[in-house]
């Protein structure tokens, strides 16, 4: 992020912060319908998509004094960071994303999200892996717990684990700077002034010099290990560190979650890092539930945006980005109902494929760029099952029954992940077009800590399931029998570890990759808006030459997870994109 953009963002935050009280205040105006927008107005910026990144970008732009409208296709804000209450009566589900850690601390602080209602519920222990042989592994933020638990399987691993965590934390510190900065994209500034060209060179020099300074602090040995992590399969990294199957499998799930990749896929080590480089309350790698569900994240950001003057419009599906045929510049957007809204700046929180293939008019984009977008990897192997139950699952491996919730219920429960070989078999089945016979399941039970989302004595259970290919070799996800069979397969697998789970199910909602695409606009059902391989990160995301949120269409920007630094409820793409837009507006 350029120094100028940083100053603008912080100035906006300070300006909005002065004179504000944390006591009761008038609520900002709620979201509007398209018919309620002022006719003929020319906006400083429009945002396609009311997901958390789009809302964050809008909030920062409005805090800098710009008039902004957010257009959300669905009737509820949040995109994949959403809470929905109409799936099973009496229960409130985080329908897609379900945990928080990656949300940038700067964004939480600058947009004052806690004042706007964001309440995090840290989990401790954070991980529980039951085994069919009666053993189990608990992990969490407490070093002594980890040493004791890992030591049950391997004393050597218990000694190595703190060093493993220490090394990854070093790498996370390096990544913090990269995540919070727009990539230093090369630009052919043919029509720019000499001053603008010099400023561009200075900004890039500042980025690389800061990064070099961080790299120098790491030292050569750590940097070699860092690149080894980036390039290697997760299996290689974990096998080099540990000997115990259960520990390695538990950690390996972070390397494959949300991806169509296995533990032996080169580059899966980076995804391992991506999922632990967040924090909660200043504690690195700690994931939290959000009171009220993940929709509370989007709600808090939307309140910050509304307070800054953003107009948020729901049930407003964009059909096309309007581009001047003569100048190639953005003119605004057209909605499916025929409404035209005008602005010379449009930020898209949709996926790169949706943005450039479906919304930008044909023959507008360079062929090479469009080809890169179309051929990018949007594959998904993820299914989310939201379950309402009348009792907590009780695990065979735990001697004590905890009807109100014990340590085993607090964090992520890893089902079917007792070895990396099991994960690899499940992946290979999906690569052949078949849903996994024994799926890899991450189970979370947020209602143990969050009493606002389920009736007393009953619980919300999230099942994040792999692997389920987008297109099945046999059958179709549109077939109710196929869907029911897979859900029951997952429930039956859980029964092996927690008897009678299936009989506790009151109701459920299942989202396969095609469902995620249809309901939430996630191309291919990919939760990251595109694969997180090394060929599609940093200067390569979403396409080579266009990593800095700008696009070949002048005035059109990308602000979602398909842009740097990628997926997860992070807010960095929205925050960084807003900084780039403000830089460009200032230069006009």
Average pLDDT estimate for 132-143: 95
152 and 245 share one domain: yes
- Please indicate, yes or no, if residue 2 is contained in any of the structural domains: no
Query: Which of 508, 524, 540 lies at the terminal end of a domain, its last residue?
Result: 524
Percentage of the chain modeled with pLDDT above 90:
79
* Residue 3 confidence (pLDDT): 52
Rounded Cα–Cα distance for residues 392 and 411 (Å):
13
Does 175 lie in the same domain as 322? no
Which domain, by its residues, includes 488?
124-286+379-524
Write out pLDDT tens, residues 563-586: 999 999 999 999 999 999 999 998
Residues 412 and 281 in one domain: yes
The string of pLDDT tens digits covering residues 289-299 is 999 999 999 99
Number of H helices, E strands in the chain: 19, 22
User: What SS3 class is residue 389?
Assistant: strand
Are 1 and 180 within 8 A, CB to CB?
yes
Residue 11 has pLDDT above 70, yes or no: no
Of the candidates 295, 292, 307, the one whose C-alpha atom is nearest the C-alpha of residue 58 is 307
Over residues 550-567, the pLDDT tens digits come to: 999 999 999 999 999 999
Same domain, 256 and 321: no
Are residue 419 and residue 451 in the same domain, yes or no? yes
What total number of domains does the chain contain? 2
**pLDDT of 23 strictly over 60:** no
- Average pLDDT of the residues in 261-272: 90
Pick from 153-162, 216-225, 319-328: least confident = 216-225
* pLDDT for 272 beyond 60: yes
The span from the CA of 510 to the CA of 384, in Å, is: 6
Mean pLDDT of 339-351: 97
Tell which wins on pLDDT, 213 or 239.
Answer: 239
Q: Looking at the domain assignment, is residue 241 inside a domain? A: yes
CATH of the domain at 299: 3.50.50.60
pLDDT at 77 over 90: yes
| Start-to-end C-alpha separation, the chain | 18
Distance CA 130, CA 396 (A): 8
Here the tokens at position 443 are: 């189970």
Q: Is the same domain home to 394 and 411?
A: yes
Instruction: State mean pLDDT over 317-343.
Output: 96
- Spell out a b/e string for 197-233, using b for 16 or more CB atoms within 10 Å of the CB, else e: eebbeebbeebeeeeeeeeeebeeeeeebbeebeebb
Tokens standing for residue 324: 């001047």
Q: What confidence score (pLDDT) does residue 17 get?
A: 47
Does 151 share its domain with 281? Answer: yes
What tokens does 471 get? 């297109």
Q: Same domain for 476 and 540?
A: no
pTM: 0.93
Which of 504, 524, 544 is the last residue before a domain boundary?
Answer: 524
Average pLDDT value for residue range 60-72: 98
CA distance 269 to 125: 24
**359 and 330 in a common domain:** yes
Q: Looking at the predicted structure, is the pLDDT value of residue 22 above 60?
A: no
Instruction: Report the C-alpha gap between 392 and 159 in whole angstroms.
Output: 34
Do 478 and 554 fall within a single domain? Answer: no
Residue 12 is assigned to a structural domain of this protein: no
Token pair, residue 297, equals 């994240």
Distance of CA 434 to the CA centre of its chain: 26
Q: Are residues 155 and 222 in the same domain?
A: yes
The predicted pLDDT at position 10 comes to 57
Evaluate whether residue 90 is within a structural domain: no
* Residue range 186-222, pLDDT digits in tens: 775 545 667 777 777 888 888 888 888 888 888 888 8
pLDDT at residue number 100: 95
Report the run of H or E that residue 420 belongs to, with start and end.
Answer: helix 420-431
580 occurs within a structural domain: yes
pLDDT at 411: 96
> How high is the pLDDT of residue 400?
83
Q: Is residue 110 part of a domain?
A: no
Q: Is residue 271 located within the same domain as residue 159?
A: yes
- In this structure, are residues 461 and 468 in contact, taking their beta carbons and an 8 Å threshold? no
Joined tokens for residue 419:
């070895």
Q: According to the model, what pLDDT value does residue 31 have?
A: 77
Question: Above pLDDT 70, what percent of the chain?
Answer: 93
Per-residue pLDDT, 9: 61
| Residue 130, pLDDT score | 98
Identify the band that residue 32 occupies on the pLDDT scale cut at 50, 70 and 90. confident
Q: Which of 581, 580, 573, 584 is nearest to 178 (CA)?
A: 573
Domain stops at, among 492, 524, 556: 524
397 is a domain residue = yes
Mean pLDDT confidence for 320-328: 96
- Using one digit for the tens of pLDDT, what is the confidence trace for 457-506? 999 999 999 999 999 999 999 999 999 999 999 999 999 999 999 999 99
Instruction: Determine, yes or no, domain membership for 553.
Output: yes
């Amino acid at each position: 992020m350029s120094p100028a953009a940083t100053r603008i963002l912080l100035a906006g935050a300070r300006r909005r912060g002065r004179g504000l009280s944390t006591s009761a205040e008038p609520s900002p105006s709620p979201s509007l319908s398209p018919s309620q927008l002022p006719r003929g107005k020319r906006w400083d910026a429009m945002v396609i998509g009311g997901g958390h990144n789009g809302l964050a970008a809008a909030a920062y732009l409005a805090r800098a004094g710009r008039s902004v409208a957010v257009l959300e296709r669905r009737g509820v804000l949040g995109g994949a960071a959403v809470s929905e209450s109409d799936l099973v009566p009496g229960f409130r589900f985080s329908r897609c994303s379900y945990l928080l850690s990656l949300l940038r601390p700067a964004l939480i602080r600058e947009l004052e999200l806690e004042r706007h209602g964001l309440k995090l519920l840290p989990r401790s222990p954070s991980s529980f892996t039951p085994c069919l042989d009666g053993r189990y592994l608990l992990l969490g933020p407490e070093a002594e717990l980890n040493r004791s638990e890992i030591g049950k399987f391997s004393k050597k691993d218990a000694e190595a684990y703190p060093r493993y965590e220490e090394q990854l934390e070093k790498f996370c510190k390096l990544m913090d700077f990269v995540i919070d900065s727009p990539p230093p994209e090369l630009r052919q500034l043919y029509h720019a002034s000499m001053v603008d060209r010099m400023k561009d060179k200075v900004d890039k020099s500042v980025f690389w010099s800061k990064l070099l300074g961080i790299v120098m602090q790491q030292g050569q040995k750590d940097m070699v290990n860092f690149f080894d992590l980036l390039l290697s399969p997760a299996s290689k990294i974990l096998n080099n560190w540990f000997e115990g199957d259960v520990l390695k499998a538990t950690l390996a799930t972070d390397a494959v979650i949300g991806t169509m990749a296995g533990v032996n896929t080169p580059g899966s080590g980076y995804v391992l890092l991506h999922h632990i480089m967040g924090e909660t309350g200043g504690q690195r790698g700690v994931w939290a539930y959000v009171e009220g569900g993940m929709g509370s994240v989007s709600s808090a950001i939307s309140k910050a945006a509304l307070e800054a003057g953003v107009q948020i419009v729901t049930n407003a599906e964009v059909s096309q980005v309007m581009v001047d045929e003569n100048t190639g510049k953005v003119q605004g957007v057209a909605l499916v109902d025929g409404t035209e809204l005008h602005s010379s700046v449009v930020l898209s929180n949709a996926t790169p494929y949706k943005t450039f293939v479906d919304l930008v008019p044909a023959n507008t984009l360079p062929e090479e760029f469009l080809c890169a977008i179309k051929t990018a990897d949007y594959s998904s192997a993820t299914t989310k099952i939201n379950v309402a139950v009348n009792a907590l699952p009780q695990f065979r491996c735990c001697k004590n029954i905890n009807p109100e919730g014990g340590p085993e219920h607090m964090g992520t429960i890893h089902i079917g992940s007792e070895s990396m070989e099991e994960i690899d078999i499940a992946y290979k089945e999906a690569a052949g077009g078949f849903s996994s016979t024994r799926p890899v399941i991450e189970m979370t039970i947020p209602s143990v800590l969050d009493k606002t989302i389920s009736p007393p004595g009953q619980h919300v259970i999230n099942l994040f399931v792999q692997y389920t290919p987008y297109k099945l070799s046999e059958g179709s996800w549109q077939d109710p029998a196929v869907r029911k069979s897979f859900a029951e397969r997952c429930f039956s697998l859980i029964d092996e570890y927690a008897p009678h789970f299936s009989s506790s199910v009151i109701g459920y909602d299942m989202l396969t990759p095609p469902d995620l695409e249809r309901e939430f606009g996630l191309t291919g059902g990919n939760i990251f808006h595109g694969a997180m391989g090394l060929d599609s990160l940093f200067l390569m995301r979403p396409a080579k030459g266009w990593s800095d949120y700008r696009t070949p269409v002048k005035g059109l920007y990308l602000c979602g997870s398909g842009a740097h630094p990628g997926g997860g409820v992070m807010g960095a793409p929205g925050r960084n994109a807003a900084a780039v837009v403000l830089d460009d507006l200032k230069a006009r």
